[in-house]
Amino acid sequence: MRSPNFIFYSLDAISDSWIGQSAYLLCPGDRCLRSSHTQTFKPIGYLELQGVWSLSRSQRLFGRANAVFPGGVNSPVRYYPPYPRYMRRGEGPYLQDVDGRKYADYVLGYGPLILGHSEGGVVNALHRVARNGMIFGAPAPDEVALAEMIGKYCPSLERMRFVASGSEATMHALRLAIHHTGRKKIVKMEGGYHGTHTLNYRSDIVDEVGFNSINELERKLSGKEYAAVIIEPALGNAGFIPPEKDYLQSVRELCNRYGSLLVCDEVITGFRTRFGLYSEAAGVEPDIVTLGKIIGGGMPLALYGGRDDVMRDVKPAGSFPQAGTYAAHPVSVAAGLKTLDILRRKDYGYLRHLSEIAAEKLLSSGLCVTSDTGMVSLFFTRGKVTDYRDVRAIDHSLFPKLFRLALDEGIFIPPSQEETIFISFSHTQKMVSDNFSFIAEMAENIYRSRRDRSLINS
């Protein structure tokens, strides 16, 4: 007997994260699925195919990627089963994949693209700069203009230092807080994400408290051993969770009382809900701020900065060591400067209006919805979500089903409930209304069928 052309795999074993697709074809020896996946799939038969069978371009690329990248990707959230769609073009609010499918994009590079993809002025600005040389190992004029503009609209940033990524910014902000105070420990919020470095993870120097819980924070800080409290003023990496009334002011007061620096990580929220800082709009002045994403206009750029007396510790003004080959990269600075220049003249009321439309549509599902200007989240619960403990209590098998249905409909949202859905100025009211009506209807169906299933099983 000839060996089969394809093994037919059932997805039942992982059906909780699947919908709308009941089987997957895998060529024997093909590398398009990770071996860990093939173990979770159940082979259910063999198929002899006559003629030519072609895998999609995304499948083929992922097969090759699996041989060279851990898990086939360069950042974990980019993977979703059975393989991610490879994107080749972005224009305004749309993405197109390598197989020619078009998507309304609500991932937007996980936040930077507040103007949408390939904004003409931004693309021209970075081309113009790149033609004159990529990197000089010396200061370049636009970095001064960009810092002046950011400082003008974010008064807490009395002095700042550009770096290449949000992870770098928060890492150096926390190192600087430790250097400045002489204390050794950091407090962060459960569900807060500040990049991938050890100061972002529970360790012997990092402790966590619940977001929106001022009592827990006071219990920690009262021992006066913490150099800093780092907080996203609204959580953006646990889904979107806004602060409760007066919470941020109370955090500020506790930091003052117990001598800890307040580090506001505004990598997501900076310039997102207004032209400036989220914390300042809430009436809070941080000691140190981190920015990223939007300030680079889609290119790698971030910063940490804040109180003059703290920032003067940084070399060469002071003794705190921090340096970077790609710090204030001229092409990133050009993209950031043009983005902020355009954004400064935009009416954030329009972005707020789009977000209100999205939230209103999602609310028709009966599920928990949170939103602010340019950001929205849907949680598969009818209860309230005010901290990460609420998020963890939710059935996490449901959101991937929603993601899958949206993707097949040509709507690209993050594959995880713990990421924020972003909206840009390039989206139109009609597309937001249509897309979020669809998402709401699917979410309601998924939630209802889950409850029906649990009734049958009980």
Residues binding ligand PLP (CB under 6 A): 110, 165-167, 170, 193-195, 232, 236-237, 265, 267-268, 292, 302
Is 82 or 192 the residue whose CB approaches ligand PLP more closely? 192
Q: List all residues 6 or more positions away from 282 whose beta carbon is below 8 Å from its beta carbon.
A: 233, 243, 248, 249
Exactly one of 185, 293, 361, 401 is catalytic; which is it?
293
Question: Smallest gap, in angstroms, from Cβ of residue 197 to ligand PLP?
Answer: 9
User: Which among 57, 62, 60 is positioned nearest to 100, based on CA atoms?
Assistant: 57
Q: In terms of DSSP H, where are the helices of 182-240?
A: 214-221
- Smallest gap from Cβ 143 to ligand PLP, in A, equals 18
- Nearest approach, Cβ of 2 to ligand PLP (angstroms)? 49
CA dist., res. 108 & res. 445, Å (int):
26
- Minimum gap (Å) between residue 188 Cβ and ligand PLP: 11
Answer whether 311's CB lies under 8 Å from 159's CB. Answer: yes
Report how many helices (DSSP H) and strands (DSSP E) the chain contains, helices first: 14, 17
Residue written as tokens 């060591």? 321
DSSP string, 126-176: HHHHHHT-S--SS--HHHHHHHHHHHHH-TT-SEEEEESSHHHHHHHHHHH
Which of 232/372 has CB closer to ligand PLP?
232
193 assigned to active site: yes
Task: Single out the catalytic residue among 97, 105, 142, 265.
Answer: 265
Q: In this structure, what DSSP letter does residue 118 have?
A: T
Quick check: is 326 catalytic?
no
Q: How many residues does the chain have?
A: 458
18 vs 388 by CB, closer to ligand PLP? 388
**Residue closer to ligand PLP, measured from CB, 232 or 387:** 232
Interatomic CA distance for residues 390 and 406, integer angstroms: 24
Question: Which CB sits closer to ligand PLP, 322 or 364?
Answer: 322
The least distance separating ligand PLP from the CB of residue 269, rounded to whole angstroms, comes to 8
CB neighbour burial string for 207-232, b if at least 16 within 10 angstroms, e if fewer: ebbbbbbbebbbebbeeebbbbbbbb
Of the two residues 33 and 171, which places its CB atom closer to ligand PLP in the complex? Answer: 171
Question: Which residues are designated catalytic?
Answer: 193, 265, 293
